[in-house]
Structure 1
Amino acid sequence: MSVRLIGTGAADGWPTPFCTCASCTAERAAGRVRAQASALLDERVLLDCAPSTPLAAERLGISLAGVTLILHTHQHSDHFSPATLMYRSWVREEPLTVLGPPDVVEAAGHWLAPEAAVTLRAVQPGDTVEHEGYTVRVLEAHHRTGLGRDGATECVLYDLTTPSGERLLYATDTGPLPAATVSAVTGADFDLVLLEESFGDRLDHGTRHLDLATFPEQLRRLRAVAAITERTEVVATHLSHHNPPTPELSRRLADWGARVLDDGATVLGEAQPAVPTPIRTLVLGGARSGKSVEAERMLADAAGVTYLATSYPPGDDGEWVERVRLHQDRRPAHWSTVESLDLVGELGRDGDPLLIDCLTLWLTRVMDRHDAWDDAAWAGGGDAALRADVAELVAAWAATTRRVVAVSNEVGQGVVPEGSGSRRFRDEMGRLNAAIAAVTEDVRWCVAGKVQNL
C-alpha cells in the first residue's frame, strides 16, 4: 500500500493567506504550504477531492489519471469539488466511481453530463462497497455539515482494505469518534490511520473537530480495541494555524506515536521502523514554565496513568486547595491518583505509566522529615540521612522498567536565598536534578511554555 498526501491542511490551509499570526509566519518562513486535506491510495483511490486538490497534485508531480474511485466524506467545500468531476469528464472516458453521502451524490449529479462515465453511489454508515479488489466500509463521523436533506448530518469516514490486505482508516472531518465507529473497527489492526487534528492548542473552538487534547484521547480509544497497534502508522492531517509550528507539533505528536508530514509525502502502510519510547523522562522548569502541562500531555494517549502527588495535603490553605483542584480537574477521568512519598516503592512496581509531580515537593518533605533545614540537625546527621534517601531514589529511578515521567523545579537560577536552610535546599535540589538527569534518556527543559529537549 502506498499513500501520497496531496493536502494536509484544514479548510483555509496552513499558513492561511490572510493571516500573520506566529504559526502562519513561521510556516511561511519555512516554505511550508498545506493544501486542503486529500490523499491518494495506490494511485487509484482518491480520498476527498477538494477544490485545491487537482492543482496541488499537479504542483507535487502527482498524477490523478489512474484514479478509478473517489471517496468523499461530506459536502463541505474544502472536501468536495463537483466541478472537478466535470473537468475530468472533459478529458477522460475511463469509468470512475464516486462514493459519498446522499447530499454529495445529489450535488455531484448536477455537474455531470448524462454520457459521463461516472457512477455516483450514495453511502451511509454501515455500508460496505467492493471496488476492483478494494473493500470500503463506511463509518459514522461526528461532524455536522448543515447541508443534509431535512437538516440531517451527512458526513462519513472510511475504512479501506486493499487487494493485498493492507488496511487504512481515513478519519477527517470528525470530532471525538462515535462509539459505533470505535466498535466497528475493533481488532482492525490498521496499517495506517489518517486522523484529523484541526484545532491544535485552541480548545474552546466548540466545533466537531479534534485538537491537541482530544486527538490523543482518540488514539487511546483506538488502541484499547486494537484498531491501532504498535505497528500502525498514525499521521495527523487537516491541520490549521491553531497548531504550533510544524517542528513543535512533530515533537508533541511523537510522544503519542503519531507523525505530521508535509504535502506530497509518501506514506507506506507496511511496518515502519519502530521509534523507541523512553522509559524515563525528566521535565524541568521554573514556576509556571509549563512543565506539568508538558508531563501530562506526554501521557495523554496512555490507557491508564498513575499520578503520584508528593505535596502535603492542602489543609485549610485556600490558595493551595485551589491549586490542587486545578491540577486534579486537568487530569483525565481514567487516571488514578496516589498521594505518597514512596517513590522508590512505586518505581519498583509494574503498572500503568507513572507521573511524579513533583521531585521538588518530595525533597521538601524529605528535608522536613530529617529536620535538614536546621544547621545543627544537618551537621548532626541530617545530611547523611537526606543523601541516603536521594541515593535510594536515584537507584530506583535508574533500575525501573516502568514508563515514568517526573516533574522537577529548577530553582538555581534566581537570587541567592538569604537563609542557610533555603540555600541548602537550593543546592540539594540542583544535586537531585543532576543525579536523576544523569540516568535519564529523555530530559526536557521548559521555559515560557516552550520545551527544549536536552
Structure 2
Amino acid sequence: MEVLLLGTGAADGWPNPFCTCASCRKALAHGRIREQTAALVDETLLLDCGPEVPRAALRYGRSLSGVRHLLITHAHFDHLGPQALLQRSWADGAGPLDLVGPADALEACRTWVGPDDPVRFVPVAAGDSLTVGDYRVRVLAAEHRVFRDGDAVLYDVEGAGGRILWACDTGPLPAHWYGHVADAGFDAVFLEETFGDRLDHGTDHHDLPAFAHTVEKLRECGAVRDDTDVVAVHLGHHNPDIDTLRLRLSESGARPGTDGEVMVVGEPIGRRTLVLGGARSGKSRHAERLLEPYGAVTYVATGGIREGDAEWAQRVTLHRDRRPSSWSTLETVDVAQVLREAREPLLIDCLGTWLTAMLDRHGVWDGGDVTATSRDVDDLLDAWTACRVPVVAVSNEVGSGVVPASASGRLFRDLLGRVNAAVAERSDTVTLLVAGLPVPLR
C-alpha cells in the first residue's frame, strides 16, 4: 500500500500566510511549506480533499484521474473542497467515483456533481464497516464536530498491502473508543497534532501533551506496535520549529509527516530512491527533504575532505548547516558496507564522487584494470538491493551534455551512466531534478 501525503498542515497550513510569529518565519525561511492535510493511497483512494489538494497532487507528479474512492472525514473547508468534483466533471472520460463520508459532508457536495456524473454517494457513520474497491474500511468516531455531534469521523483502512488509521481531525478520544481498535496492529497511524504548545484551544484537536497521551493509549490497546509508523499531521504554527518538534514527537515514538512524502505501508524492506540531476539542479536538497520526516538519518558523504580547497569546504559547510541536528555524517567510500550494516535511514551523496574514488583506488586513470571497478559496482548493487532501511542516493545525470574532450572524461561519463541505469533499475522511485523541479521517472 503506497501512501502519498499531499499535505500535512492544519486548516491554515504552516506557515500561516498572514502570520509573522517565530514558527512561521522559520518555516518560511527554510522553505518548509505545509498545505492542508490529505493523502492519496495507491493512486485510487483519496483521504480528504480540501481546496489545495488537486494542485498538490500535480505538484508531486500524480494525476487524480485514477481516484475511484474519496473518503471524507467531515465538512470543514480544509478537508472538503467540493469544487474539485466540478473540475473532475470537466475532464473527458472521468470514471466512477465513490464519495464516502458523513451525510452532512455529502450534502455539501451534491450541487457540485452533474446529473450524469458517475458519482455514487455513500453516507456513513461511526460503527459502519464497508468494502470500498479493494479496501476494507471501518468508520470510527471522532472527537470533532462541524455542526452537530457525529458529523465527523475517522477511518480504519485495510488493503492487501497494509492497514492504516486516518485520525484527522479529532481531539483526545474517550477511554471506550480504544476498544474499537484494540489489537489492530496498524502499519501506520496518521494522527492530527494541531496546536503544539498552545493548550487553551478547546477539545476538538490535539496539542503535544494530548498527542503523546493518545499514542500511549494506542500502544496500550495494541493498535500501535513497536514497528508502527506514527505520523503527526494537521500541523499548525503553534508548534515549535520542525527540528524541535521532531525531537518532541520522538519521545512518543512518532514523527512529523512531510508534504510530498511517499510511504510504502506494510512493505518489510526499506524503500530505495534514486535522485538524479545536473550541477546545481537542487538534487541534494530534494534528497534531504525526502528524509526530513525521519528523526535520525546517516548522511553518507562520499566526497571526503579536499585539503586546501576553500570552495569545496564552503559547499560542505552549507550542506551540513541545512541538515537537521539529529542527522549524523559519515565520510566514507565503503558505501556497500554501510548499506548492509545500516540500522537507520541513509542519504548517499553522491554516486559520482563514489565512482571517482573507486577509479582512483584501482589506478584506472593511469591505465589500471577497469574490471576491478566493475566488481565494486556489482557489490554496491547487491547491497543496494538488500538494504533494509529507507535509502536515498544522489547521482549526477551526465548524459545530456557535450561529449567530454578527454578519454578519461568519456570513460567516467560512460561508467556513471551505467551505474545510474543499474541503480535505477533496482530502485522503487527515481526522480530527475531540472532547474530545481522534481520530474518523477518512476
Work out whether the TM-score is over 0.5. Answer: yes
Structure 1 gap ranges (5+):
275-454
Partner of 1:259: 255
Partner of 2:144: 143
Partner of 1:441: none
Name the aligned partner's letter for residue 185 of structure 1: V
Partner of 1:9: 9
Aligned-pair distance for 1:273? 8.5
Aligned-pair distance for 1:272? 6.8
Alignment length (residue pairs): 269
Q: C-alpha distance in 2, partners of 1:100/1:182? A: 21
Partner SS for 1:231: strand
Name the aligned partner's letter for residue 2 of structure 1: E
Partner of 2:187: 191
Partner of 2:71: 71
Q: C-alpha distance in 2, partners of 1:232/1:104? A: 30
Structure 2 gap ranges (5+):
271-442
Contact 1:36 1:238 in 2 (8 A): yes
Q: Write out the 4+ residue segments of structure 1 that deviate beyond 4 Å after TM superposition.
A: 271-274
Partner of 2:200: 204
Question: What are the Cα deviations for residues 169-214 of structure 1, in whole angstroms up to 9, with x where unaligned?
Answer: 0000000123343111111000000000000000111141001010
How do 1:219-258 residues align onto structure 2 when only pairs under 5 Å count? 219-258=215-254
Q: C-alpha distance in 1, partners of 2:37/2:150? A: 20
Contact 1:231 1:271 in 2 (8 A): no
Larger Rg: 1
Contact 2:65 2:94 in 1 (8 A): no
TM-score relative to the length of structure 1: 0.58
Partner of 2:306: none
Matched, 1:218 2:214: yes
Aligned-pair distance for 1:104? 1.0
Bigger shift: 56-65 or 39-48?
Answer: 56-65
Q: C-alpha distance in 2, partners of 1:139/1:178? A: 12
Partner of 1:47: 47
Name the aligned partner's letter for residue 106 of structure 1: E
Aligned-pair distance for 1:113? 1.1
Gap change, CA 1:130 and 1:153, over 3 Å in 2: closer
Partner of 1:128: 129
Q: C-alpha distance in 2, partners of 1:153/1:132? A: 25
Bigger shift: 221-230 or 83-92?
Answer: 83-92
Matched, 1:62 2:67: no
Partner SS for 1:232: strand
Partner of 1:33: 33
How do 1:249-398 residues align onto structure 2 when only pairs under 5 Å count? 249-270=245-266
Partner SS for 1:200: coil
Q: C-alpha distance in 2, partners of 1:272/1:24? A: 36
Name the aligned partner's letter for residue 178 of structure 2: V
Partner of 1:155: 152
Partner SS for 2:43: coil
Aligned-pair distance for 1:93? 2.4
How do 1:161-176 residues align onto structure 2 when only pairs under 5 Å count? 161-164=158-161, 166-176=162-172
Partner SS for 1:256: coil
Question: What are the Cα deviations for residues 24-66 of structure 1, in whole angstroms up to 9, with x where unaligned?
Answer: 0000000011000000111111000001101122122222121
Contact 1:142 1:174 in 2 (8 A): yes
Contact 1:143 1:174 in 2 (8 A): yes
Contact 1:159 1:167 in 2 (8 A): yes
Name the aligned partner's letter for residue 131 of structure 2: E
RMSD over equivalenced CA pairs, Å? 1.5
Partner of 1:345: none
